A = this chain, B = another copy of it.
Amino acid sequence: MAGNSIGKEFVVTSFGESHGKCVGVIIDGCPAGLPLSENDIQPELDMRIPSQLKIVSARREKDQLELLSGTFNGITTGAPICMLVKNKDTQSEDYESNKNIPRPGHADYAAATKYGRFNDYRGGGRFSGRVTVALVMAGAVAKKLLMKHGVDIVAYTSAVDGIRMEVAPKPENIREGRDENPIRCPDQLIAKRMEETIMKAREEGESVGGIIECVAMHLPVGIGEPIYDSLDSDLAKILFNIPAVKGVEFGAGFEAAEMKGSENNDPYQTENGKITTTTNNAGGILGGMSTGMNITARIAIKPTPSVAKEQHTVNMATMKNETIRVGGRHDPCIVPKAVPVVESAMAVILADHMMRAGFIPKVLKEAK
């Protein structure tokens, strides 16, 4: 298959490009019986560029959702759900002059080589971060579906440019604190420092990266299909699809590589008639299946490749060395914007695996 679809039961297909007419998504396999309207998705899109996120100088356009198919009387029917947002402010001419000058850290050179003269070089075309809007739309539906089945997912900024939360926040408290600041970090003091370092980077024509953490709560035990469609495999697959992600770890992650076995293993216990573990170094996943503990993932986001500073590059047509300053409005840090994208990505895979493991039926029992 051609690569723009993901999922086996809750199948998401993305379309659109940065400077085309729209960015959109189809969900094929969403169960019948889920109440769904534009109002369920629009807030998630707005969250991508919240009003207070002044540090993010992205396109000013508000993305207006259009829900084109798959519902009847405000409830999903089991038919494919198509959603899209139109692009605005797409000044393609900006890109013409530099079409042979690949921006370091971007997909330009690989894309130009792969697609030759048919490459859509306008703002990264299909490789633009803009395309993650599709994932956010699909994630909004996935999150609503999961929430109806008790599963809650929350992502947040845990580090920016080396400034990090040293203590993991309580999952149930994250969302509130996170939404109080534009950084999407649940600790207000640390968020303030992160904001300062981002502002400083902008002034210097630089950019910074960071780390997003994501927690999924209240999953049943046994989600994840052996061997190749294990839960961590599929989560990692969708997370690495997000532009700028360079590392993914679950639970103790890379730290586990330095632990002793008896230290890293999570001991089982009985708790209120349920089996739980006293620690969660596994990050809620063993043998590729959910253990019933929270799924915890950490995702490394590289600094925005578009920087105002002069960089070395080449002219692909003349094969001469060049320098480039990437102009336009660019985020000095995309971590805050990537938070809802990570949350959505996790939701899409968890919805798919909940369906695959039989915890969500194809026709919901009742709609409220």
Contact = CB atoms under 8 A, between A and B. Distances in A.
B16 A13 contact: no
A176 B248 CA distance: 30
A363 interface: yes
B15 A80 contact: yes
A113 B221 contact: yes
Contacts of A29: 1-3
Interface residues of A, number: 154
Interface string A297-336: 0001111111101011110100111000000000000000
A300 B254 contact: yes
A195 interface: no
B270 A228 contact: no
Contacts of A116: 32-33, 363
A256 B262 contact: no
Interface string A93-126: 0000000001011110111011110111010111
A316 B254 CA distance: 30
A238 interface: yes
11 contacts: A14-B228, A102-B268, A109-B275, A110-B290, A233-B236, A253-B300, A256-B301, A259-B303, A267-B311, A269-B314, A270-B314
Contacts of A57: none
B113 A72 contact: no
Nearest to A135: B227
A70 B70 CA distance: 23
A14 B100 CA distance: 36
B104 A266 contact: yes
A320 B273 CA distance: 10
Given A118-B77, A221-B114, A311-B262, A241 B233 contact: yes
Given A16-B82, A207-B260, A303-B256, A11 B22 contact: no
A339 B251 CA distance: 22
A23 to B, nearest CB: 8
